[in-house]
Amino acid sequence: MFEKILIVCAGNICRSPYAEKRLQQLMPSCDISSAGLVTEKSALTDSPVSAEAQNIAGTLGIDLTGHRARQVTAVMLSSCDLILAMSQNQIDTLARMFPESRHKVMLFGHWIGVSHIEDPHQKSLTVFQQVYSVLDRAATAWADKIGKPSL
């Protein structure tokens, strides 16, 4: 059983915070968190989600007001049972940076056949809506696959 799940994206201000909250709604007994991967975006650490992300998430029933971006660390990864990334490139980056955790990393879009979930940061409202729709479908698929106890 996957009890502790970490969702990773680039900056932890758009995709992973939304995916974290949606998966928490679907799997309330699990400990689900999120973090950012790209070191160039480390200046985003402790930043709130983007205004666009907050607004769109709110219309979809997700409150991101308390979220603060954080950078992924080896300690975070080692304490998780499952790590979900938004793209194969992010999986490859995680494998290079933290090879000891590679066996726990999968695509967030795996069960819906999506290998890359676009980063909507600084893009249009339409792109945000499309990305959050994909995140909703992917979260639902993960909850269906791992969120129900086996008989």
15 an active-site residue?
A: yes
Q: Please report, in tens digits, the pLDDT of each residue of the chain (151 residues total).
A: 789 999 999 999 999 999 999 999 999 999 999 999 866 545 578 889 988 899 999 999 999 999 999 999 999 999 999 999 999 999 999 999 999 999 999 999 999 999 999 999 989 989 999 999 999 999 999 999 997 654 4
pTM for the model stands at 0.93
Q: In which order are the strands placed within the sheet that holds 105-107?
A: 31-36, 4-9, 82-85, 105-107
Phi-psi region of 38 (alpha: psi -120 to 50; beta: other; left: phi over 0): beta
Distance CA 61, CA 9 (A): 21
Give me the catalytic one of 14, 15, 22, 80: 15
Question: Which domains, from first to last, does the chain contain?
Answer: 4-146 (3.40.50.2300)
Q: Is residue 70 flagged as an active site residue? A: no
Given this model, what pLDDT does residue 39 score? 61
pLDDT of residue 50: 85
pLDDT at position 8, please? Answer: 97
Q: Is 119 known to be catalytic?
A: yes
pLDDT of residue 150: 47
Q: What is the pLDDT of residue 151?
A: 43
Q: Which of 22, 96, 119, 144 does the annotation list as catalytic?
A: 119
